[in-house]
Amino acid sequence: MKYTIRLICLLMTINCVGQTNNPGFNKIYSLIMQKDFFHAKSLYDSSKSGLSSAQQNYLTALLDNAFNQVSLSAQRIASLKGDFSDSLWLELYRIKEDNAAKMYNYKAAKATVQTMLQQYKYLLSPDGQDDLKNSLHMWTTLEHTPPQRVVINGTNKLRIKKDKAGLNNLDAVVGKDTADFIFDTGANMSTISLSTAKRLHMQILPADIVVGAITGASVKAQLGVCKQFKLGNIEVNNAVFLVLADSALAFPQINYKIEGILGYPVISALKEVQLTQDGYLIVPEKETAIHSTPNMAIDRLSPLIFIDGKHYTFDTGADETFLYANFFEANKAEISANYKPVNIRFGGAGGKTQQEAYKIRHHFNIMEKDIVLDSVPVLKDKISNEMVYGNIGQDIIRQFSRMTINFDKMFIKFD
């Protein structure tokens, strides 16, 4: 069952693809545009000698952003000079906006969006222009909001509660009140119902931001700023939430409603989180040491995991794994020959949708650990403009006693 909110305002449709006269640059750039940051980085490392200094700085700015080195990415962009096409500059400004947002510099994000709309409007489709205007509205609303700040006091071991939908909830303490917040790495933004935001005395900023659900439906959201809440001995200050009408987070068919969701901006600020099979979330004082190649990247606000040479989104808020149309196309002959199509329903905030799919048995190998799913859905058609091979959910996570997600060294580890 999927309840993740997807933020439309950070998406753009670009009418032309950036190209140079260097085939090596173009190949790496193409992989980045396909969200295949892992192969892009490997190819860059092996072929960067064939690139000019400006081309190297351009690509590393994009790759630093993808591997959560946003300060380095911002520095490279600030010093970058080169004879790039307008479409390549537009992509760079999009990364610049993302860097600013991840550093909680909303005023800089606003200025970057203004530049894109003023200088590169002709490259954007009408939908792309609307998305940027939506972003501009959000950053303008937040431009005077203090940056988020997280204080971690020692190692924290927090009890996870399962709700009626089987999702992981944490007790968030706001003053003398408490709310159940779903822990969801697949949520681009933290989200809260209007009634809960009012109960917790959040500052609600009228915004009418357009957000989207996994089904493609759109809903309106306001913005909420929580001056401080606590997770155990962790203090989260000035966290920004999307504030949705209670009805957008309610599922009357199962008598279930969501109070709030902790999304990427809060979770990534914890640096490392460990989820245990016996029901705890651990935020260690000292990060786990690891020497393997990073198997996690970030596409704007969505974590990706690299498995068996393919890139997937990674979502602790999803009950089950879904494989997408890219996976089906790569394995079409085998799947069609051995399985029969069925209709499945899935959805989240904003509604449900139905798709034709196959349910297959599939083996994954994650960091030399073999994982088998006996009935994983494979969608035949794209559900949006996704470029990944699927979404990894709790049915894989549950097969291990502990999962570690590290946003500093960029790895996901199962034990």
Residue in 99, 21, 89, 87 with CA at minimum distance from that of residue 63? 99
Give dist(CA 151, CA 128) in Å, integer: 37
Once rounded to an integer, what is the mean pLDDT over residues 71-95?
95
| C-alpha 154: how far from chain center | 27
Residue 362 pLDDT level (bands cut at 50, 70, 90)? very high
Write down how long the chain is. Answer: 415
H/E/C letters for each residue in the chain? CCCCEECHHHCCCECCCCCCCCHHHHHHHHHHHCCCHHHHHHHHHHHHHHCCHHHHHHHHHHHHHHCCCHHHHHHHHHHCCCCCCHHHHHHHHHHHHHHHHHCCCHHHHHHHHHHHHHHCHHHECHHHHHHHHHHHHHHHHHCCCCCCEEEECCCEEEECEECCCCCEEEEEEECCEEEEEEECCCCCCEEEEHHHHHHCCCEEEEEEEEEEECCCCEEEEEEEEEEEEEECCEEEEEEEEEEECHHHHEEHHHCEECCEEECHHHHHHCCEEEEECCCEEEECCCCCCCCCCCCEEEECCEEEEEECCEEEEECCCCCCCEECHHHHHHCHHHHHHHCCCEEEEEEECCEEEEEEEEEEEEEEEECCEEEEEEEEEEECCCCCCCCCCEEECHHHHCCCCEEEEECCCCEEEEC
Residue 165 pLDDT level (bands cut at 50, 70, 90)? confident
pLDDT exceeding 70 applies to what percent of the chain? 92
Residue 354 has pLDDT above 80, yes or no: no
pLDDT in tens, 49-59: 999 999 999 99
Min mean pLDDT across 36-40, 45-49, 317-321 is at 317-321
Q: What is the pLDDT of residue 3?
A: 33
Give dist(CA 358, CA 380) in Å, integer: 8
Nearest-5° Cα angle at 288, 70 to 263: 50
Give dist(CA 295, CA 304) in Å, integer: 8
pLDDT in tens, 175-196: 999 999 999 887 889 999 999 9
Once rounded to an integer, what is the mean pLDDT over residues 204-210?
92
Q: What is the pLDDT of residue 135?
A: 95
Give dist(CA 125, CA 119) in Å, integer: 14
The mean of the pLDDT values for the chain is 89
φ, ψ of residue 17 in degrees (nearest 5)? -95, 135
- Domain spans, the chain: 149-272
pTM of the model: 0.88
Q: What is the pLDDT of residue 73?
A: 98
pLDDT in tens, 108-158: 999 999 999 999 999 999 999 999 999 999 999 999 999 999 999 999 999
Longest dimension (CA), the chain: 62
Q: Which CATH class is domain 149-272?
A: mainly beta
Give dist(CA 258, CA 159) in Å, integer: 18
φ, ψ of residue 316 in degrees (nearest 5)? -70, -10
Encoded tokens for 272: 């490392």
Residue 349 has pLDDT above 80, yes or no: no
